Amino acid sequence: MSYPATVRSVGINKIGGVEAIEDLTLPFPKRKPNELLVKVEWGGVNFIDTYLRSGLYPAPFLPLPMTREASGVIVELPSDEALLQSEEFKLRGFKRGGKVAVGNTGSLKEYISVPWDSYVYPVPDAVSTRVAVAALLQGMTAIAQVTESYNVQKGDLVLIHTIAGGVGLLLAQLCKARGATVIGTTSTPEKAELATVHGADHVILYKSEDVVQRVNELTRGLGPHVIYDGVGKDTFDADFKMIRRKGTIVSFGNASGAVPPVPLFKLTEKNVKLLRPTVDKYVFTVDEKNFYGTELYRLVASGELKINIHGEYPFTADGVQRAQLDLVEGKTTGKLLIKVSNE
């Protein structure tokens, strides 16, 4: 098959505000023998895009196409024959024309070439590439948080900050399905309603209610067994007031800014366990990718995990700028997508 010499992309050439996002024309990806070539249909917008664009996290290369995730169709398998015949490769189930979701920094371009053993997941027939990308990073994050950061059990009291967000709505569903009592925080009654539909038992409107006092009442003074906090700087100190003795605080994001360094002695007040995990270090080996990829799309295909898509934005600098602004300004619930090409 013949391919064009260049691909369209949207990304940055320098660190900066949203105005740094521009339309790019990049060379067609050079495929290594161990790589899959994917024709991209969707890109998924995440907070990490804004961290890389603003310099909070270092950009690994420039120009840097935006989006940390994409989905589409495999147009070329690896050219390494020995690899194609290996059991490990066959286990992944990749085939030409097969749908895949890819967790890869710099994915927002018409074609991407990715190592077969990187963050690439086959998508089952029952799941569209649109839903597959919407579920990918936030879904794996949520599954890893309820399984590995703290293994949520029936009867647990769980507090989820920004419960109507992308990760938040998924955490709510997973915790509820495990039999936990789910308490969430959010900014508006509309977002609270959405969280309730997705499994929240109690939603606290943090702009008008005293969160610490409400959590104290709802947990009869004991505090939650676990707090999932993707807000970061603004909520971190209050987490220590709310968490129960021997509870777990999972600080997994920086929507309001990074949490400053914490003195170790802070943990002794209640013998708290504190984690600052990233999904990449939970989903790392080929076995872990098989496990999490299969589990995520099983839950999505069966309807056990509902994927809430906030909106689709065009594959232009203006579209990506608007998506990032909507995300950081807290205007969204669920997932933001960039439509790169037709399914």
Which residues make up the interface to ligand NAP (CB under 6 A)? 46-48, 137-138, 141, 162, 164-168, 186-187, 191, 230-231, 234, 252-256, 277-279, 327-328, 330, 332
Measured from the CB atom, the residue of 317 and 336 that comes closer to ligand NAP is 336
CA–CA gap between residue 98 and residue 129 (Å, rounded): 10
Min. distance of Cβ 161 from ligand NAP in angstroms? 7
Min. distance of Cβ 121 from ligand NAP in angstroms? 15
Q: Which residue has the tokens 């100190």?
A: 237
Min. distance of Cβ 24 from ligand NAP in angstroms? 24
Measured from the CB atom, the residue of 106 and 165 that comes closer to ligand NAP is 165
Min. distance of Cβ 164 from ligand NAP in angstroms? 5
In a 3-state reduction of DSSP, which class is residue 209?
coil
Measured from the CB atom, the residue of 74 and 332 that comes closer to ligand NAP is 332
Min. distance of Cβ 119 from ligand NAP in angstroms? 12
Contacts of 67 (CB under 8 A, 6+ apart): 43, 44, 45, 46, 49, 106, 107, 108, 320, 338
CA–CA gap between residue 55 and residue 181 (Å, rounded): 38
Q: Are 229 and 256 in contact (CB under 8 A)?
A: no
Measured from the CB atom, the residue of 89 and 228 that comes closer to ligand NAP is 228
In a 3-state reduction of DSSP, which class is residue 74?
strand
CA–CA gap between residue 42 and residue 25 (Å, rounded): 18
Min. distance of Cβ 239 from ligand NAP in angstroms? 14
Measured from the CB atom, the residue of 74 and 152 that comes closer to ligand NAP is 152
CA–CA gap between residue 295 and residue 54 (Å, rounded): 33
Measured from the CB atom, the residue of 24 and 101 that comes closer to ligand NAP is 101
Look at the chain and count its residues.
343
Q: Extract the tokens encoding 21.
A: 């996002």
